[in-house]
C-alpha cells in the first residue's frame, strides 16, 4: 500500500461511505451492462483486483470462489455488505495490487474494473506483472478502463472532467495500461471500446 498511500489511500478511506452514491448515475447508465463482460465464461477461483465497494459482486459466476482485494479497509467494509448476498463464495482481503500475497498460479483468471485508470503510471507494469504471476498459465486478465476519447466533443468534455475525477478518485484518462501489457510479459488478446470511445475492455493472457 505504501506506493499508493500518498495520493489515494486517504482519499478512498474518506469517500468510501459516499462512493456508491457518487457513482450511482454512472453505475446504472453505463457500468452495469458492461460489468457482465468481465465474468463471461469464467469459473473456478477468480481474483477481483481493486474490488472497492463490491460493485462487481452481483456479476460473480454462481458457484465460483472469488477473492476481492483492495488497499482501503473502508471500501472493503462496504463490499462485505454485498458479499453476504452473493451466490459465489467470496473472500475479501486488504492487499496492495502491486504485491499481492498469493502463491504463483493461484487463480484461474483475474478481473479489474476501473482500477488501472486510478493506479499511478509507475504502478501500471508492476501491477500487471503481479496479476500475471498469480494467474495460472493460459488464464485471462480482463480490465475495464477509461481512456482518453478520440472524438473532439468527448475529448473536450474529458479534459474538463479531468481535474474533477483526479481530485475525487485519483483517476486519469491517460494511463498507458494497454501499452504496459507486453512489458509485463502478458499477451494482449483483445482491446475494444464498450462505451463509445470512452471505456475499453482489455483482455490479456498469461503466457508462462
Across the beta sheet with 45-49, the strand order is 89-94, 65-70, 45-49, 107-113, 135-146, 199-206, 186-195
pLDDT band at 3 (very low <50, low <70, confident <90, very high): very low
Each residue's pLDDT tens digit, 27-59: 999 999 999 999 999 999 999 999 999 999 999
pLDDT (tens digit per residue) in 161-190: 676 776 667 778 889 999 999 999 999 999
User: Domain residues for 166?
Assistant: 5-206
- Residue 165 sits at the vertex; the CA angle it makes with 48 and 121, to the nearest 5 degrees, is 60
pLDDT for the residue 167: 67
Checking if the pLDDT of 208 tops 50, the result is: yes
Is 89 strand, coil or helix?
strand
Position 160 scores a pLDDT of 59
User: Contact 100/141 with Cβ under 8 angstroms?
Assistant: no
Domain of 70, CATH number, reads 3.40.50.150
pLDDT of residue 6: 43
pLDDT digits (tens, 9 = 90+) for 104-153: 999 999 999 999 999 999 999 999 999 999 999 999 999 999 998 877 66
Per-residue model confidence (pLDDT) at position 5: 41
Q: How many domains does the chain have?
A: 1
Phi, psi of 33 (to 5 degrees): -80, -15
In the structure, what pLDDT confidence band is assigned to residue 156 with cuts at 50, 70 and 90?
low
Reply yes or no on whether the pLDDT at 98 is more than 90: yes
Range 12-22 average pLDDT: 92
Q: How far is CA 172 from CA 93, 166, 201, in A?
A: 25, 6, 16
Amino acid at each position: 500500500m505504501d506506493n499508493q498511500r500518498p495520493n489515494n489511500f486517504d482519499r478512498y478511506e474518506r469517500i468510501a461511505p459516499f462512493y456508491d452514491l457518487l457513482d450511482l448515475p454512472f453505475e446504472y447508465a453505463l457500468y452495469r451492462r458492461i460489468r457482465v463482460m468481465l465474468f463471461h465464461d469464467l469459473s473456478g477461483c477468480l481474483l477481483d483486483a481493486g474490488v472497492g465497494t463490491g460493485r462487481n459482486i452481483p456479476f460473480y459466476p454462481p458457484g465460483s470462489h472469488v477473492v476481492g482485494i483492495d488497499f482501503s479497509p473502508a471500501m472493503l467494509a462496504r463490499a462485505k455488505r454485498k458479499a453476504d448476498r452473493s451466490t459465489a463464495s467470496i473472500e475479501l482481503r486488504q492487499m496492495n495490487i502491486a504485491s499481492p500475497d498469493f502463491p504463483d498460479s493461484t487463480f484461474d483468471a483475474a478481473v479489474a474494473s476501473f482500477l488501472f485508470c486510478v493506479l499511478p503510471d509507475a504502478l501500471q507494469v508492476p501491477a500487471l506483472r503481479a496479476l500475471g504471476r498469480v494467474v495460472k498459465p493460459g488464464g485471462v486478465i480482463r480490465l475495464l478502463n477509461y481512456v482518453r476519447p478520440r472524438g473532439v466533443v468527448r475529448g473536450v468534455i474529458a479534459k474538463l472532467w479531468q481535474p474533477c475525477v483526479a481530485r475525487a478518485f485519483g483517476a486519469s484518462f491517460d494511463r498507458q495500461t494497454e501499452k504496459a501489457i507486453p512489458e509485463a510479459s502478458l499477451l494482449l488478446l483483445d482491446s475494444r471500446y464498450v462505451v463509445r470511445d470512452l471505456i475499453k475492455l482489455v483482455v490479456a493472457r498469461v503466457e508462462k
